[in-house]
Every structure is written in C-alpha cells, then in structure tokens.
Chains A and B, each alone.
Chain A
Amino acid sequence: MPIVSVGRDKLFEALGKTYTDDEFQALCFDYGIELDDVTSEQEMHKKELGSKGASKENIKGLSDEILYKIDIPANRYDMLCLEGIARALNIFNRRIPRVDYRLANMAGKQTQRLVVKPETALVRPFVVAAILRGVKFDAQRYNSFIDLQDKLHQNLCRQRSLVAIGTHDLGTVQGPFTYEALSPPDIVFRPLKQTREFNAAELLQHYQANDLKLRKFVPIIQQSVVYPVILDANRTVLSLPPIINGAHSAITLDTRDVFIECTATDLTKAKTVLNTMCTMFSEYCSTPFEVEPVEVIDAFGQSHVFPDLASRAMEVEVAYINRCVGVDLGATAIAELLSRMALTAKAVRNGQAVSVEVPPTRSDVLHACDVMEDVAIAYGYNNIEWTVPSTTAIGAELPLSALLELLRAECAMAGFTEILTWALCSRAENFTQLLRPDDGASAASIGNPATSEFEVCRTSLLQGALKTLGANKDAPLPVKLFEASDVILLDAAAETGARNERRLVAVACAKEGSFEVIHGLLNRVMDVLGVPLLGELGTGRSALQEQAGVGYEWQPSEDPTFFPDRQASVSACGKTVGHFGVVHPEVLAAFDIPYPVSALELNMEPFVFDQFYKPLHTHMQKPTAPSSR
C-alpha cells in the first residue's frame, strides 16, 4: 500500500483541528487509513545513518517539520496527496460538504486541441489532457503537486508503463498540440534538468548510463522504432513520454495555467490519472474545482473531450445493503452515511433504494458492493452487532492430513524429532549435492528467484533433512530427525504440469552408521500403517490384507545418493514407494556433515486408505455433475 508523507501541521490546518497522534490514529482507523510513522526529514536522516553518522552539519539543511507518514489503501488514488487526504477526512468528519467538480463553460472561448497522429499506435496509443487555470502555487503546494505525480507513477501507472503524466506551463507554449511518434534522432530538445539539447536516442543512452531514477523507464520505449512526443504548434517539445518533460515548458512557482497530459497504453487508467490530477489541484484554481477541458482528436479524426468529470449514477437496493452489512437502516440514513464517504445519495423508489452519484475521485467504486462497504465504514465496523451464522456444515480433515497427523506422532514416539524445512532450495542442493543427475528439466523451476537459495521446488525431502544436520553439528549424538511434508514433481498429466506428493523423510546420525535404526523405523511405520511385510521374514497376511493386496518388501538398490551395498528400495502395493540406506560419504561432505547418516524417504500417498484398505482421495477432485440433493 502506498505511504504518503504529509506535513502534520499543514494537515491539521486543512482539517481545521489539532489532534494528538493517538486521536489522529483513531480517526485513521475508523476511515481505513493508517498513521504509519511520525517523523521529520531530520529524523529520517538520523535513522538512515544511525545516531553516529548524522552530525549536526549534515542535518542542518533538513527540515524539522513533523511529518505524518500515512498508509493509503491501494485503490484510493484520490488520497495520495495532502489535499486528497484532508478533503476525504473533512467530508468524513462532516466539516465540509461533498465537492462538485465541473468543466469550465467554453462557450465563446477556444478549446485547446491535442491532435493524435496514427504512428503513436506503434508505441503508446492513448493520450488525454486538461488545463488548470489561475493556479496559485506556493512551495508546499508545488511539492505536493510533484509528489502526487510520483505516487501515481509508482502505483496506478505501474512505473509509467501504463500511464505517464506530463505537466506544463501553458503560458510558455502554443496550441494546438500534437501527439506524434517520431524517429528518435528527429526528436531534439533540452530536457528538464539538462543544460543542453539532446536527441531522443542519445538522451535515452544518457539516462541509461547516468540516471538512477530515470534509468528504469528507458526500456518502456527504447526498443521501439519511433518514440512518442508531445509538441506545440511551434514544434516545441513538451515531453518525451514516459521518460522526461522538456525544460521549455517546465512548471515554476509562478506558473498560473497548467497543461496536464497523460499518455498511456491503457485508456481507462489514463482517464483515472487525469481525473485525479485535476480534482486534487483544481482546488487552487482561480475558480476552485473548475477544470478547463481539452479536445483530443484521435488518430481516426474522432473528437473526445477530457477530462470526464461527470458523476456516475448508480441505484443500490436498501435491502441489499442491509442484508450484506447486517444492519437495518432506512434509505435516508444510508444516504446520510454515504455523504460522509464523498458519495452523493438520495432515497428513491419510496425508500426501497438509494440513488448514488459516484464522483470522479472515486474510481474504486465498481459495483454496489463498494457502496455497501462505504455504508459499513461510515456506520463503523465496530458498531455493527455481531452475529453467528447458522450455516450448518460438518467439520472434516482431509484423509491425507489426518493420516499424517497420526503418523507424525508415531514417528516422535519412535524417538525421532520433527523438523520443518523449506519447499524451495537451490538446484545444487536438489541435484548435485545428492549426486543426482540434473538434466535441467526434472524440477519445477523458478524464473525470477531473488536469491540462489530458491531456484527450484524440492523433488525430495532428503536435502532439507541433511541441511538441518549440517546446521546442527553441535547437537549431541545420536540425532534422529523426521519430516512429513510435500515435494513437487513435474507431471504432464497434472493440470498445471506439476503436482505435490506427501513424503516422509527420516535420518539417523551417529558416530557409526545407523542403518538398522532407519530400517527399524521403516518396519515400525509399516506396522502402524497396517501394511504387512511380505516374503520370508513376514508373518503372513490377514484375509483382508490378502484381498486388498497390501504388503511391503525391500530389495537392494543402486541409488547414487546412498552408499553401495548399504541401501534398498522399498516397494509396496506393487510399486516403488521409497528408499533407505547409508548416505553416501560424498553427499555427507556436500552437506558438511562429519558423521555417518542413514536415511529413509517414503511416498505416503499409497497408504491413504481406510481401515478396510479402501483408497481415499489425496488431491482435489474435478467438479462432478450437480447432485440431485
């Protein structure tokens, strides 16, 4: 969620009231924002450098103004600046009525035009624009204006990939404007904060090499044959979206008329961004909350007027609100509550419904449920009487989980201590360290791991148990561990191409190999599972076991992870279900374990059956046809 930093005293001035931190936090809590931190530029600097690093000298230039860092819900773009926070809270506190945003009446006046050239479709097809007239900036308003653009760029605009905002001093340029896409060397201008002219190709290379902040936006257009550019009637470059504005039309504290353009790959979001900029800063226009429209002529010659500040009308059933929130409110009471959330509402259809006007600031309202939520917030979540649903359902564990809960207890009773290791590991841990071949296509692989610790999903639990032994070399011997968890196996038959398999792993580490210890655990596990031993050592099967065909046995095996002639594979119910043996010394060395280890790993899924050996489901089943219930 975005965090917005605002001056505390400026905010209180706008709210017409001074709060203690706790009082303000309480207000935030009720509205659904959060006072995340109380700080100042000096404090932040000290925190960053530590108490020793921050000398008096280097904090001298920094402000000691108290800042509130406020956490804003990710869908409330209208609260990403002080103006928006204060407006929403003032309306919530019933200090001011709702705000009506409107377009200036252009009768008898020339509407500014922005003409879109078809080539822009190749790189960034959409543009919207608007004008704020007679704006009075001061240092604080100006900073807030810049900060809001930053916040929008970071959030709704997805780092400028979806939308980029350019703001200009209209007094320095001449309409009509054009939105074009030109060959990079043909775009020549002096960008903001530069002392000389660049062509666009050279400029992007410059930012790529030298500018930490702008570097990350370069890839959005760099590969395109043409770059987007906004020009005025005299071919002055206003901006090279989504990278940088021209220095010529830069906003200053003296700017009175502001031209705002938003270029985009997503038109809906461009409109929301433009509306947010206009509704927030039209407060400072000579006629507050009035925005001058701009006519955009699209590539097909169609005319569109922006911004669209019209409220959207919705009708919401009173019964719907009451039955979702769990209250019993009349239409008038609902309308009153909604007015605190900046939604204008009135009772209609004899109080059966409320007619709601959603202002352009509330782009988060998509459905009646959003209106319903605002009623609940204004009513107060903590004022809602709580009830217990009468829903009747039968509690149940999944057979796989229930079985493993029992089996874990048995393993612990058998003297093994439970561990819990990560499902993600490095490729080396999963393959080469276990002396298993890595063909690069035997494990689910992560494309974007933050660290090499998490390259693949484990295909065996053994590496986690060995890592635990390696990390616990100081534990008194013998060490006996187990884990019952999932591995992830590639499986073309599975819907996603991979499936989980529930396994049991156990390791015994002592000064001498503990092969019999691990072998004994295998026998014990099978005993408690009710799976009889087959072959000469077995004591025979019951009629039920005979009929179900259950039983297990082991055969010497040749798994590279284990020591030759000290290992066996386990088969049960006609398939191989696991291995046990003395771990190969090279594997031990790879996991930094100085003592011999014996290990057992078993697939538990074949053993998920009831007391009559009837198999039970282990994974989600596809929907079946509606039952006749």
Chain B
Amino acid sequence: MKDLQAKLGPNAKVGFSQAKMQNWIRIDKSGGEQLIVREVETVEDRTQSLLKRISEGQEVDKADAEALKKRKLVKPESWKTYALKKGPKFALEKKKPATELTHEMLQKGTWRDANFKAYNFNALGQPTNGGHLHPLLKVRTQIRKAFTSMGFEEMPTNNYVESSFWNFDALFQPQQHPARDSHDTFFLTNPAATPLSKQPQDYVRRVRDIHENGGFGSIGYGSHWKESEAEKNLLRTHTTAVSSRMLYKLAQEGFRPAKYFSIDRVFRNEAIDRTHLAEFHQIEGVVCDRGLTLGDLIGTLHLFFSRLGLPKLRFKPAYNPYTEPSMEIFSYSEQLGKWVEVGNSGMFRPEMLRPMGLPEDVNVIAWGLGLERPTMILYGIDNIRDLFGHKVSLSVVKKNPICRLNL
C-alpha cells in the first residue's frame, strides 16, 4: 500500500473503493502491513468508458449519470443554443420602425425601406389651429347673400340712436301707441332729443297733418300731435326706422323702383328670458315699385323663405299701425309637425308713403323677422343667451357646422 501510495501519489485513492467493491482487488492485512492483492486478470472499467462517452458529448444512462454526479466525477450544466439565420427583413445595419413619413425619408428615399409603426385609429385627430366665426353671423352672411342675389340693396342701418320722429311718427304710428311707452322702448337722457328743426320742415308739417287731420284720403287719428313726443331720442325699436328714412330719400331724389334689405340690431326694453333679449337682430326686406300687389308680397315671401329652407307658407291677417294689409307669416315646421310664426309683413300705409312725396300708384311691400330664432332652430340652441352676448360658451362658437341656408 505504501509503495502504491508512493508510486501513484494523490491518485492512489482514486477508484480504490470501487475496485474493491468490484472485487478486482483485495486488502491483505495478514503480514501486518496492508497489501493490495490483484484478484482478476483483466477489468472492464465501465466508469472510464462512461466518462469517456460524456467527454465525447454522448448520452449516458440517467442512473449512471446520477451515480457519476454523486461521485462528483461529473456535474450538470445547462445552456441554450440559438440558431441564427437571415430573416425576411435581414439588413446589414440596425433600424427603428418609423411613426411618421419625414422630410428626411423623402429626401433620402428611405421611405421605401422604412418600417412604419401601426397608426392608432381609436383616437380623434389634433384640433385645428384656426379661429372660428360666430354662428349667428354665419347665418347673417347667408341671408345677406340671399338678399343680394335677389337684387336687394343694403340699407345703412348703423344708427342705433334714432329720433321718435323717424322710428314712429314717420311710420304713422300714433303718439299714444303702447309701443311708445317706456315699458317697451329705451328712451335716452343723453342725447335726449333731436329737435324737429333738424328734419325737413315741409315733411314734418305733412306728418303732423296726417296724424292730426288726415289727408290723402285718410281721416287721420284726430289726436293732437306733440312735437316734444316726436323729438324724443330712443334706441330704434325696429330697422323700419331706417326704411322710412330710405323711402323719404328715394322720394326726394326722384322715385325709382327699389329693393332694400338690412340685418341689424334693434332694441326693446324687455325683461330678458330664454327667448327675449334687450337687443336682437332684425332682418328686413322692402320692395318699392308702382302697382305692387298683395300677391306680389306673397310671391316675394315664398321666394325668400324658400331660400331659408321654409317653402311651405301661409298667411294670417294681423294688425300693425304702419302696414295695411298686414300679414303674419307662418311656416310649416316638419321638425315640430306644426305651423309656426316666422315673421311679419305688409304693405306700407298711404299715410306713411304719401307725406314723403311718393307717387300715389307706388306701393311698398315689406317684411321682417328676427335673426336669432331661425338660428336657434338651425343650431339646436334653446336659450337665446347661449347664442348672443358675453355668456355664450366659446365651445358653442367653435363647434357648429357651416350655415347651409341659401345653398
């Protein structure tokens, strides 16, 4: 044993117990000294062949592998292997997929090979940057176009402060008429009055005369006509105040057929609610010619309202101090399933026209309506304060379609 140890060194113990177990050797202690005695002529070293197989990368029995593991002759190791091959998008340089087509891609032509990320279609696009027009004024623009394309000329309505003379008296509106009450009309304290001396004197005399005593076939109102009442300044209650100035001017300049229109603000001293404001926009149309008839008025209204998408009209007799005949205009609303009032119309009274100096056979037909109400119906707004004034939400201004009237 000593010799063996000396000969083999540290390896002397390797496989010793295994060789013993296999009965290849025997330990003889009889001589007092341990002797190793060969028992067999040849051995088949299975361990060696197993290890050899493992080192050659060949498979071994699971039990053998476990046994070798126990003897710490082997230890398990695991590793992954990958096989790399050229794929369909094989390239020699590394690339990121693109989100947008870029200037550079166009310049270099790389858009051809660029890889684009999928677009998210479950989102809205970016809001636009431009400004927006106000819905009420979009409707105003379209109605202006309807008028001008029908041959109507715009009246200068940029005079909100008006004298009672032109707003009422020239229109043969009696001085005791309820509309001239402070409950309905804004009267001004500054400038409080327009002296009648500023008006054409002969015309003022004819207006006074027609109110007090009648004339041109009329019996008049038979009431005293007060100058101070006619001089009072107010915020015009209708754009017809301007129509009266225009018709007077037309008569002075020598009569010619005329068609006028305006869309501008008028003022009423009314309590504000869902449908009423102290100021609103009045649309007015006027046709002045020889021999105009009520049939002409009805025909003109059909043409006008058809352009506003209201082709079905009917007319109700009404009263208005300065028109005779007077007609309320009703339109059949398919939405509401009923007839709704959409405006007022009539022929101006001779008591208004003749003192101006218009020839006897000249008739003037006219109509008026508000701009706000049709706009509210068009844009589905049910409170006028959501349409006109500072409390209107900016999102309402920004989010509304174009006005398709008069297309």
Contacts and interface: CB of A to CB of B under 8 A. Distances in A.
Contact of A418 (B137, B252, B259): B137
Interface string A497-538: 111101000000000000000000000000000000000000
A626 interface: yes
Contact of B191 (A376, A467, A490, A621): A490
Contact of B390 (A364, A381, A471): A471
Contact of B161 (A312, A498, A624): A498
B319 A74 contact: yes
Contact of A389 (B159, B246, B289, B350): B289
B279 A424 contact: yes
A449 B186 contact: yes
A577 B88 CA distance: 70
Interface string A468-497: 101110010001111000101010000111
A488 B160 contact: yes
Number of chain A interface residues as a range: 35 or more
A419 B265 CA distance: 15
A243 B254 CA distance: 53
Interface string A608-627: 00000000011111111111
A388 B152 CA distance: 14
A73 B324 CA distance: 13
B308 interface: no
B72 to A, nearest CB: 74
Contact of A323 (B134, B194, B293, B298): B293
B151 A394 contact: yes
Contacts of A368: 217
Nearest to B295: A326
Interface stretch (A4-12, A275-283, A440-448): A440-448
A384 B313 CA distance: 13
Given A472-B394, A496-B161, A619-B156, A387 B188 contact: no
Interface string A153-165: 0010010001000
Contacts of A268: 221-223
B191 A496 contact: yes
Interface in B136-164: 136-137, 141, 144, 147-156, 158-163
Given A158-B176, A326-B295, A370-B324, A499 B131 contact: no
A405 B141 contact: yes
B397 interface: yes
Interface residues of B, number: 113
Interface stretch (A44-52, A128-136, A407-415): A407-415
B149 A395 contact: yes
Contact of A450 (B130, B214, B252, B278): B278
Nearest to A467: B390
A422 B277 CA distance: 10
A445 B220 contact: no
B196 to A, nearest CB: 11
Contacts of A411: 131
A414 B133 CA distance: 12
Contacts of A457: 160-161, 235
A269 B223 CA distance: 8
A447 B287 contact: no
Interface stretch (A185-193, A396-404, A556-564): A396-404
A377 B319 CA distance: 12
Interface string B4-48: 000000000000000000000000000000000000000000000
A482 B130 CA distance: 13
Given A401-B154, A623-B248, A367 B219 contact: yes
A190 B254 CA distance: 66
Contacts of A481: 394
A369 interface: yes
A467 B394 CA distance: 12
A31 interface: yes
Most buried by A among B162, B292, B314, B390: B390
Interface string B281-325: 000000111011111101110110000000000111111010011
Interface string B224-267: 10000000010100000010011011001110111100000101
A395 B269 contact: no
B317 A31 contact: yes
Given A411-B131, A412-B133, A417 B397 contact: yes
Nearest to B189: A447
Interface in B57-102: none
A376 B295 CA distance: 10
Contacts of B235: 424, 446, 457
Given A266-B223, A324-B363, A446-B186, A500 B327 contact: no
B332 interface: no
Given A388-B303, A496-B161, A162 B129 contact: no
A542 interface: no
6 contacts: A268-B221, A369-B347, A398-B155, A419-B394, A424-B278, A495-B198
Given A413-B130, A471-B390, 15 more contacts: A74-B319, A266-B176, A324-B347, A381-B298, A388-B296, A400-B158, A424-B186, A448-B187, A451-B272, A453-B272, A490-B191, A496-B194, A617-B156, A620-B246, A626-B254
Interface of A: 1, 29-32, 34, 73-76, 155, 158, 162, 266-269, 312, 323-327, 364, 366-370, 372-373, 376-377, 381-382, 384-389, 391-398, 400-401, 405, 408-409, 411-424, 441, 443-451, 453-454, 457, 464, 467-468, 470-472, 475, 479-482, 486, 488, 490, 495-500, 502, 617-627, 629
